[in-house]
Amino acid sequence: MSIPQDPQNPQGPPPAPPEGTQLPLGDRRNISPVNIEEEMRRSYLDYAMSVIIGRALPDVRDGLKPVHRRILFGMSEMGLTFNRPTRKCAKIVGEVLGKYHPHGDTAVYDALVRMAQDFSMRYPLVDGQGNFGSVDADPPAAMRYTEARLSKIAAMLLEDIDKDTVEFRANYDDSEHEPEVLPTRVPNLLVNGSEGIAVGMATRIPPHNLTEIVNATIALVQNPSLSLERIITQFVPGPDFPTGGILLGRQGIFDYFTRGRGSLKIRAKVATEKLGKDRESIVITEIPYQVNKARLVEQVATLVNDKKIDGISDIRDESDRDGLRVVIELKRGEQPEIVLNNLYKQTQMQVNFGVIMLSIVNGQPREMGLIDCIKRFIDHRVEVVRRRTEFLLRKAREREHILLGFQKALQNLDAVIESVRASRNPKEAREALMGAASFPDNPRLAAVIAKWSPALQFNGQPLSHFDFSERQAQAIIEMQLQRLTGMEQQKILDELAEIERLIAGYLEILTSDVKLRAIIVAELKEVQKNFGDARRTQIVDDEGEINIEDLIKMEDVVVTVTRGGYLKRTALDTYRRQSRGGKGRIGMTTRSEDVVEYLLSASTHSYLLIFTNKGRLYWLKVYNIPDAGSASKGKNISQLISLQEDETIKAFLPVKEFTPDQFVVMATKLGVIKKCELAEFDNPLSRGIIAIGLKTDDDELISAKLSTGADLVFIATRNGMAIKFPEGDVRAMGRPAAGVNSMRLAPDDSIVAMEVVTEDSLILSIAENGMGKRTPAGHYRLQTRAGKGVINMKVNKRTGPVVNVLEVKDDTDVVVITRNGQIIRTEAALIRKTGRSAQGVKLVTLEPGDVIAAACSVQEAEVEGEDNGDPQTDLPLV
């Protein structure tokens, strides 16, 4: 075969240098070119599989990663069982490093520490003495200070390891041997769980209750076709974490039981305690799994200091050796359920635990559900029990063979003794008993053999010569003389009978799958009896967030907002009714640069739709608005909703339910109107949603009202004009739409209010200087949309411009507030009815320089009683 020539070197490769000659640095004869892409792919895959198989993922059979398996085996080899004294962890780590796991002492010690932590492992495998860390994430002491030994349950993982139950392999330097897997009697993968990050994959298996898992395992041993539904309902309802807690919902459990992946919602276990007549505290006694208690306390304190959570006056950690206890003291009158709901949302008192049931199965990573995991463990136990039985059978047969030799020797005792005495050395004695030679050079021994050969027998059958095996002959030679006594002879025969019975039992096990599985069940029941305990984690149905409405008293309140954005609610019956023209009471203390701007009436159970000048909508529950004390300014709106930059509140709309047959009608300052279905606003985002698209930058939203779709729209301007047209003139639009023209405005005029009315409605117009009048809606001519309108109120210097327009009835109360915080409540019936162009009457006596800022209407049915001198109604407004 011809060799192709190198075009750059037609003479062929240079001859090889003599042996022992050092090649120059540039010599390339021993370099093979490879494709770098293929080499990188192959090398990375080799590395990835090494991490996956040999480091990061547990084996489905014993639930252990290699480092944990090596630590347990190394401690077992050191004799550190549960009934032996502890030894320094430094010695244990050195033993494991030197023989089995050459990856660094930190990795070994960290794994050893975790196996000793009762808050990390449901059933710790190491019994530690010293500081092994805490639930506050305090680090353990150095390995030179701590001591350890195997726990009692760890012995169940190592049981029968010396009976050829598992395969062994050479360690990293071929100087020792280590087990490939432990012959565990405990379904450790599910009982203690596992967590690890490999290359491109990860595992996160939660711990489970041993009693429940063993019950499910026994059930599957006896009936492999058992359904998952029955397993869940009768045996394993879900995981059981060492730190307890409450697990919300069962869907995540069913997901990972079925396909190996799911998400669990874990919540801290809390209780409430009375601190006094009207004060309570929240006491945390259990926290979610893997949550740092100290960090949780710090997190709550930070949220309180940043005023992101209200109602908490103090928090302290009272945990001691008796258990975990974190006390959160509440302010006077606070509802614990409401504070808890905020804590669950914003802290690690409630966490999600993502489950990935990934483990090594037959040398490959695989995700499995609950039943598959248990069946893999059962298969492992079947193999372990089978190999153990074969080992015991082999040992029993070896012992039986020796005992049969003893029995034969006892039946021919005189011949055996005389032959041994006639032998010149042990070798001749052994060969004589084996019948392997005639011994011509030892006539005495040959004569003894010839003498006794006709008389030899075994169990009544004659023997032509000794036919002991080599092992039998050696055992006979080594037998002590005391074994020849009558009692000892009987013990040999009894032991032989027992061995034969054991052999029969072992053979029965190996030939009967039912017997073998019965042994597995019996051993599982023993494990359950010795180590089973009660469930710690409570599983409850996930009914979503706490239904706050059930905890809040339903009452009518007045919500007040200042221009600076401070918001508060006050019970409606706090405001005492006064006669028209009264001076009112101070309802809010404001800063000199701040003024009260909005006022509305709503139920505590209502939703509050908040419309901003930019046409965006935010969603808030009225009960989330603080019920502030007397003369308090309340809480800033920015702490309740996430306003965008340059946004100010322009309209509020209380809504009880988002019914499909209702609409929201919105009006802007420059005369744009828009109608939108109420259901469009039932699920706004925290950052707000678009309610109306503004056409120009100088326009802004000024009002939003609910309607039925068949009402009349009444719009009033600052200069005293108004228009009334059918709501049907405005078609329903989507949320981002900009709307249509509602009214033709004069150049210096703008819209100040909009109401949804009927022909029987009364229109209350309120001017800035305290004047007001009621006019029947029928007095306003019905026009089409986009008209110029008619006169609504005669505006002059005495009245000032129109501030607001309200729909009222004879049984309606009107609450008016001034910019300086003065509030008056009066009956609408006391305000005189006048025509459209009248100036009206005085509603409130204003202080010099003060003007009316806002007004709202309150139905008579909402008022609990008249002001007849009751001291309660004389309380200062809040």
Please confirm, yes or no, whether 618 is among the known catalytic residues: no
In this structure, the strands spanning 246-248 and 538-540 are parallel
Give the side-chain half-sphere CA count within 13 A for 306.
10
Q: Which of 47, 100, 123, 145 is catalytic?
A: 145
Q: Which segments of 591-680 are extended strands (E)?
A: 596-603, 607-612, 616-621, 635-636, 649-655, 663-668, 672-677
Within 140-261, residue ranges assigned H as helices are 154-158, 188-192, 210-222, 228-234, 251-259
Question: What does the alpha-carbon distance between residue 140 and residue 217 come to, in Å, rounded to a whole number?
Answer: 36
Name every residue whose Cβ is closer than 8 Å to that of residue 565 and which is 6 or more positions away in sequence.
Answer: 636, 637, 638, 648, 649
796 close to 789: Cβ distance less than 8 angstroms: no
Instruction: Give the dihedral sign, CA 821/822/827/833.
Output: negative
Q: CA 823, CA 851: separation in Å to the nearest integer?
A: 12
Measured distance CA(301)–CA(297) in Å, rounded = 6
φ, ψ of residue 108 to 5 degrees: the values are: -70, -45
Could you tell me the sign of the dihedral formed by the alpha carbons of 579, 580, 584, 587, in that order? positive
Q: How far apart are CA 156 and CA 165, in angstroms?
A: 13
DSSP class of residue 576 equals P
DSSP code of residue 327: E
Q: Answer for the pair 689, 617: CB distance below 8 angstroms, yes or no.
A: yes
Residue with structure tokens 């008619």?
A: 790
Question: Residue 826: CB partners within 8 Å, gap ≥ 6?
Answer: 577, 578, 579, 580, 582, 813, 814, 816, 843
CA proximity to 67, closest of 76, 80, 78, 58: 58
Radius of gyration of the chain (CA): 45
3 state DSSP class of 577: coil
- Cα–Cα distance for residue pair 812/861, rounded to 1 Å: 9
Which residue type, as a one-letter code, is found at position 313?
A: S
Question: Tokens at residue 204, please?
Answer: 């996160």
Quote the DSSP letter at residue 507.
Answer: H
DSSP 3-state percent helix, strand, coil across the chain (nearest 5): 30, 25, 45
The 3-state secondary structure of 217-247, one letter per residue:
HHHHHHCCCCCHHHHHHHCCCCCCCCCCCEE
Q: At 560, list the tokens.
A: 């007040």
Cβ proximity of 168 and 177 under 8 Å: yes
In this structure, the number of other CB atoms found within 10 A of the CB of residue 250 comes to 17
Helix (H, G, I), strand (E, B) or coil at 846: coil
- In contact, 278 and 332? CB cutoff 8 Å: yes
Q: CB-based contacts of 818: which residues, under 8 Å, 6+ apart?
A: 596, 844, 846, 847, 850, 851, 852, 853
Q: Which of 305, 332, 335, 282 is nearest to 621 (CA)?
A: 335
Neighbours of 801 (CB within 10 A): 18
Nearest to 860 by CA among 824, 809, 817, 816: 809
**What is the three-class DSSP state of 271?**
strand
Backbone angles phi, psi at 193, to 5 degrees: 70, -175
Catalytic residues: 145
